Structure 1
Amino acid sequence: MSFHQKEIRLPAYRRGFHIVTDTIVGHLPELKTIEVGFLQVFIKHTSASLTINENCDPTVRGDFERHFNLLFPEDAQHYQHDYEGSDDMPAHLKSSTLGCQVMIPITKGRLNLGTWQGIYLCEHRNHDTGRTLVLTLMS
């Protein structure tokens, strides 16, 4: 088995759910040389997350944001961690719920995602300066 790894820095995104599949693939020209393998995408942050979901209808991403805000509201009285603002503890909860990594099969030089699937960067903070991803190709 062989491995190739690199870190990339995403630009700042507003709070919400954003499709970053093309950005990730654009940083991986090596992907085209892999017949069978996997791509692991890992985010190095505790207030943002990754998931795979609907890549066509943007209302899905809006519904995700609204739903997660209902599940994890800002300024809840039971939060103790509030050092970085009212959006910080909800961001940690959202991140742990969705997770910090995704794994995608590679087949014939392409990510083997379903027709309607895309990789989401889930930005849970009101203000971000960019996020770092670790991309690991395994073949």
Structure 2
Amino acid sequence: MRQAIHHLSVKTRTRGLTEISREVRAFVREQGIDMGLLTLFCCHTSASLLIQENADASVRRDLERYFEALAPEDPQRYEHDTEGPDDMPAHLRTALTHTQLSIPVEHGEPVLGTWQGIYVFEHRRVAHTRDVVLHLIGA
């Protein structure tokens, strides 16, 4: 049994989804582990991780609009606004999604469906650099 860990630095431009599938696949391939489990962990409370369709961009746009309606920026609605009006909505969006994903690895590749991609879901309006920890264990 072997394991490897890597910190992936992801630059986001604004609120929305940034695909990291290519970087994640490259990390897994470099480790030479044929079968195992890959864990991804987002080290933030205002960004999250998603596995989502990567073929049709309208899916991502619809998700972003849905979360905007679900947790809108509204100064009258929230007490917490330490980092601005998008701060508390970002925390709510993270609470409704995931900061950790587990993906099986088979034949040296993450097992994803045909149209699945791995995304950092940025919940703040401005650009950030997000730290995603990749941990792979297997043989």
**What's the TM-score once normalised by structure 1's chain length?**
0.92
The reply on whether 1:122 has 2:138 as its aligned counterpart is: no
Which blocks of at least 5 consecutive residues in structure 1 are unaligned? none
Contact conserved, 1:12 with 1:128, CA < 8 A, in 2? yes
Deviates more, 1:13-22 or 1:112-121: 13-22
Contact conserved, 1:18 with 1:61, CA < 8 A, in 2? no
1:34 CA drift (Å): 1.6
Task: State the Cα deviation string for residues 5-34 of structure 1 (Å, max 9, x = none).
Answer: 111211233211122111222344434x22
Map of 1:69 onto structure 2: 68
Partner AA of 2:8 in structure 1: I
Higher strand share: 2
Structure 2 residue matching 1:130: 3-state secondary structure: strand
Contact conserved, 1:42 with 1:100, CA < 8 A, in 2? yes
Off by >6 Å, runs of 4+ in structure 1: none
d(CA) in 2 for partners of 1:137 and 1:7? Answer: 12
d(CA) in 1 for partners of 2:51 and 2:134? Answer: 15
Map of 1:78 onto structure 2: 77
Which blocks of at least 5 consecutive residues in structure 2 are unaligned? none
> What is the aligned-residue identity percentage?
43
Number of residue pairs matched? Answer: 138
Contact conserved, 2:50 with 2:118, CA < 8 A, in 1? yes
Calculate the aligned-residue CA RMSD, in Å. 1.4
Contact conserved, 2:46 with 2:123, CA < 8 A, in 1? yes
Partner AA of 1:53 in structure 2: Q
1:2 CA drift (Å): 2.6
Map of 2:11 onto structure 1: 11
**What's the TM-score once normalised by structure 2's chain length?**
0.92
Partner AA of 2:35 in structure 1: V
